[in-house]
Chains A and B, each alone.
Chain A
Amino acid sequence: MKALSQIELCSDAGQIMFECASRESVLDAATRSCLPSPIPAGCRRGGCGLCRILIEDGDFAASCMSARHISPVELARGETLACRTFARGNLRIRPIPPKRYASTYADERPIC
């Protein structure tokens, strides 16, 4: 695996390329390389869900993130949080809108 991956970010505003080291998150690479960041940055710890992206092409690893924002099914189809996502080769990514807080955790399951 190469130490640096090339990230191609596609959005309605156009295409941006930046480099991402294997140990930095895609969000850290984006905020380090681009001003302003093409991906909104929030908590940077997988909780707030502002940095949702779709991996259109390429391999990645993801660490723990909030199931409210990325369900296992969504993760399996390449939706992820950029702050918890690590490139394992070159990636093509697209920012996607954060989810709305329409229902609460307790609306769906018991609190223990």
Chain B
Amino acid sequence: MLKGIMRPGHIQIRVMDLDLAVDHYTNALGLILTHRTDDHAFLKGWSEVDAYSVILRQADQAGMDFLGFKVVDHSRLMALSRDVQAFGCPVELLPAEDLPDCGERVRFTIPTGQKIELYCEKLQTGKWGIDAINPQAWPEGLRGMQAERFDHCLFYGPEIDETERLFLDVLGFTLSEQLVDGPVRLASFMSCSMKAHDIAFIRNEAHGALHHVSFHTDAWSDILRAADIVTHRNIPLDVAPTRHGLTHGQTIYFFDPSGNRNEIFAGGNYTYPDHKPVTWTLEQMGKAIFYHDQQPSQRFLTAVT
């Protein structure tokens, strides 16, 4: 049952060299740099209406600081905050403008160890490079992979049962797809929209770890173009263009200059709250992860930040 969460709206990623990271996320991924300070950079995909969705923070290690979901209004934000607290996750209230151009945020740590935020106000600057009225199909002047928007994240942790209960019962997500070993869920893909996943978790001992940050593009041809750019720029490739079984999305994975895994994602299944979860079973795990190769690499399974 949806409870007013609309979308993953921002993610703060730790990077070890901010200049190299900005170059990667703008010139390789094609995100738009909207604001920069000494130790933070704010970016967005061209099709996103809010002021930014990706925050890069200079740090001494890689990984994710927090993932924020945008909520429809303040009363839903406060209701969700109460419900999260009642679930057993202490919430921290961060005042408006703690993040520039963003309203107050409710932050909590989920059982798998990641920090999640909810907020309902952020400056809307509109889609980048196209008119608000009678808009063009896409803006000219995009760079690199021309990523349209921040799409989803995948996280690791041994406590995915509790995290899933929080997202489904408290935050109002639906279980869109899953990988199961009998009664045990190994992967949980959850949605607050029609997307095949807005957030996903894999059962793994790496508590609090980030597996990947994903960006959406339109088509398979964009995935191949992304692969060419990976080669042009000598970016470390993780997985060459292919399709997932889970979500049936088209995909390529590579690493940013600090070793955080990026995905460029296109297509994929849709879901509605009345859909039964799409289920994959352990004996077909290879096909569930990579639909053609059917054999996930050790690197894909074990490299996290």
Residues of A within 8 A of B (CB): 40-48, 50, 64-69, 98, 100-107, 111-112
Q: Is A40 within 8 A of B63, CB to CB? A: no
- Sample of 4 more A-B contacts, CB < 8 Å, known A43-B260, A66-B259: A45-B236, A47-B256, A48-B62, A67-B60
Q: Which chain B residue shows the least CB distance to A64?
A: B16
Pairs across A and B, CB under 8 Å, 14 listed:
A41-B299, A43-B236, A43-B255, A43-B303, A47-B305, A48-B62, A50-B302, A66-B61, A66-B305, A68-B61, A98-B302, A100-B206, A105-B14, A111-B65
* B205 pairs with A100, CB closer than 8 A: yes
A104 x B16 contact (CB < 8 A): no
B173 within 8 A of A: no
If over half of B's interface residues share one DSSP class (helix, strand or loop), that class is named, otherwise mixed; here it is loop
- Which of A40, A42, A47, A48 is within 8 Å of B16, CB to CB? A47
C-alpha spacing A102/B159, complex, angstroms? 12
Interface footprint category on B: 35 or more
Task: Out of A45, A67, A98, A111, name the residue touching B257 (CB < 8 Å).
Answer: A45
Chain A nearest CB from B138 CB (Å) reads 31
Whether A42 pairs with B302 at a CB distance below 8 angstroms is yes
With a cutoff of 8 Å between Cβ atoms, the chain A residues found around residue B208 in the complex are: 101, 103-107
**How many residue pairs between the two chains, A and B, have CB atoms under 8 Å in the bound complex?**
100
What sequence of 0s and 1s flags, for each residue 80-102 of chain B, a beta carbon within 8 Å of any chain A beta carbon? Answer: 00000000000000000000000
Contact of A48 among B65, B66, B303 (CB under 8 A): B303
- Shortest A78–chain B CB gap in Å is 20
CB distance from B159 to the nearest CB of A (A): 12
- Interface status of B298 (Cβ within 8 A of chain A): yes
Taking a contact as CB atoms under 8 Å apart, the answer to whether A106 and B17 are in contact is: no
- Tell me the bound Cα distance from A98 to B17 in angstroms: 23
Q: Which residues of A contact B242 (CB under 8 A)?
A: none
B207 within 8 Å of A (CB atoms): yes
Q: Mark B9-36, 1 if CB is under 8 A from A, else 0.
A: 0001010110000000000000000000
Q: Measured between C-beta atoms, what is the minimum distance from B251 to chain A in Å?
A: 17
Partner of B259, one of A42, A104, A107: A42
Q: Which positions 117-150 of chain B face chain A at CB distance < 8 Å?
A: none
Chain A residue nearest to B17 (CB atoms) is A64
B57 on interface, CB distance cutoff 8 Å: yes
Q: For the complex, what is the distance from the CA of A105 to the CA of B63, rounded to whole Å?
A: 8
Closest to A112 in B: B57
Which among A44, A101, A107, A112 is the interface contact of B304 at CB below 8 angstroms? A101
Which B residues are CB-close (under 8 A) to A104? Answer: 109, 113-114, 207-208
A43 touches B16 (CB 8 A): no
